[in-house]
Structure 1
Amino acid sequence: MPFSRRPLGQQPASRRFVLRAAATGAAATLAIALPGGAAARASAAPPVHVYVAGDSTASTYVSSLAPRAGWGQALPVFLTADASVVNMAKSGASSKSFIDLGLLDRILAVIKRGDYLLISFGHNDEKIDDPSRYTEPSTTYKQYLSRYIDKSRAKGAIPVLVTSVERRHFDGAGRISTSHGAYPAAMRELAAAKGVSLVDLTASSTALWNRVGVEGTKKYFMILKAGQYPNYPDGSQDNTHFQAFGAIEVARLVATALHNQGVLPSADFRRLTDTIPTSSIVWPTT
């Protein structure tokens, strides 16, 4: 019987066996040699693909930039071989510029029925002084996001909106100061209007940063001492992007939401509550 993806929340028809290898901007998938009938099942039942369209907070970074990492780069550690991540997130991209660069078209050329498209923009849509990236929350932002939704649905894929992860900006009382303005609310409104699953990463990351606190969040972000890492001899004071530990924990927030909402079958997830070593992240060399 030919394989078909079952409805959301149900177990997949059979297990699929692949080896996921990260590559810049995408994850390459290589088949494992399996004995007898298992190999036949693997070839008959390829993994569903989870595409990530987003910005620098989700991007895959090369080894020369380690320990910097994006949550899309870390997402594979929480998914089994049944779900292969293809991270197309691009540093500096907005919902508009990602399309203008042809990156959505690249995804649409290969995405298949039953695949998923995680859509996470906002950090760069906010840049009102850059017309190549700026979108207005209640109008053009929703219009561009709608193109991702409508075009992926036309291919039989399942779009999922992901609000922007919050920055590490604390107020005088030690609580997170919101930095994304009207964009998260606009995405929530669009998700409700179009019946799209929503991962509210703005809310979940804000809660995490408030729980961990001003000092505790330093190990999540690119807050590095001079000489701490060879790639950053002068250190770093970046309150937007993540080092490996932070990328893993933000990816955990995304994966947990996808699991709890039944967006992907439960069998597609692993290690959601485990301690994950930072060595689990793959930094490609080029």
Structure 2
Amino acid sequence: MKKNFRGNLVLFSLLFVIASLVFGNNFAKSKSTKKENIHKNQITVYLAGDSTVSDYSSSLAPRAGWGQVLEKYFDDQVVVNNEATPGRSSRSFIDEGRLDSILNHIEKGDYLFIQFGHNDEKIKDPTRYTEPYSTYKRYLKQYIDGARAKQAIPVLLTPVERRYFTEDGVLSDTHGKYPNAMKELGLEEHVPVIDLTEGSNTLFQKLGPEKTKNVFLWLDAGENRNYPNGVKDNTHFQVAGAKKIARLVVDGIEESKLVPLSNHILK
């Protein structure tokens, strides 16, 4: 009787161990497959741009680019990879190898959002300056061609407006021919264009000179320890403003019907 009991106990233990190994491996494979499927279904949005798009460290808070907050408007199937860098133009971004770095990682079905103009306008700096209807368009086309070669989707974004009002409270046009040149290129290359220049112009004009100070990096002396002497910046945003511009980008994604990206916008 004892021998039978011991024999059954040993047999039961062996079966338990085998079952644990089999089901454990299947469970691990299931989890692994699930992770791979989630990664496979994710869309990465790469951002190429200047300081109005860039991420900033906490030491510069509340300064923020719209790319820094864009991911918050999407579900967890969208990842924003912000490669925008302060001070860059469509030309210098390429010359420094930053576009190549993006193209080495971008995959089929990903997006490349391209916003330049602020620094392309710097005519006294030959390392950054581009002429709107010639070199500017030629450099932008390199982003388009590079993305398409990797079966990714290029999207052009006209440069967001600066905060310059006339004495009569009318917002000044600070980007000249660059937005129209970009829109012209979009038509020629059949690339979606999100008109941030027009969208931000409308927003800032509606808010007016005083309320736009809450959009841009305007702080009084002593208001923030990162800017003890205060700051009056009419180009860069604080977090609240970055969110407003990111919202314009998201609206543009919906208006342009950028499927499947638009399917993942949080309502």
Same-fold call, TM cutoff 0.5: yes
In structure 1, the partner of 2:143 is 148
Q: CA deviation at 1:175?
A: 1.5
Hey, what's the Cα distance between the residues in 2 that align with 1:242 and 1:178? 18
Which amino acid counterpart does residue 236 of structure 1 have in structure 2?
V
In structure 2, the partner of 1:16 is none
SS across alignment from 1:52: strand
1:76 to 29, 54, 71: 71
CA contact (8 A) 2:70 2:246 kept: yes
1:37-69 CA distance string (max 9 Å, x none): 676334223211000000000000001000000
Hey, what's the Cα distance between the residues in 2 that align with 1:194 and 1:172? 40
Hey, what's the Cα distance between the residues in 1 that align with 2:30 and 2:164? 54
Hey, what's the Cα distance between the residues in 2 that align with 1:186 and 1:201? 14
In structure 2, the partner of 1:45 is 38
Hey, what's the Cα distance between the residues in 2 that align with 1:106 and 1:212? 38
* Range moving further from structure 2, 41-50 or 79-88: 41-50
Which amino acid counterpart does residue 106 of structure 2 have in structure 1?
I
SS across alignment from 1:45: helix
CA contact (8 A) 1:69 1:243 kept: yes
Q: CA deviation at 1:262?
A: 1.4
Hey, what's the Cα distance between the residues in 2 that align with 1:103 and 1:270? 30
- 2:210 aligned with 1:197, yes or no? no
1:121-150 CA distance string (max 9 Å, x none): 000000000000000001000000000001
Which amino acid counterpart does residue 38 of structure 2 have in structure 1?
A
CA contact (8 A) 1:80 1:267 kept: no
Higher share in helix: 2
Question: Based on CA coordinates, which of the two structures has the bigger radius of gyration?
Answer: 2
Which amino acid counterpart does residue 105 of structure 1 have in structure 2?
D
Question: Gapped runs of 5+ residues in structure 1?
Answer: 1-34, 272-286
CA contact (8 A) 1:163 1:199 kept: yes
Matched residues, number? 238
* 1:104-253 equivalences in 2 (<5 Å): 104-253=99-248
Which amino acid counterpart does residue 238 of structure 2 have in structure 1?
Q
Hey, what's the Cα distance between the residues in 2 that align with 1:211 and 1:36? 55
In structure 2, the partner of 1:89 is 84
* Range moving further from structure 2, 123-132 or 255-264: 255-264
Q: CA deviation at 1:80?
A: 1.2
Q: CA deviation at 1:113?
A: 0.5
SS across alignment from 2:112: strand
Q: TM-score by structure 2 length?
A: 0.86
CA contact (8 A) 2:71 2:80 kept: yes
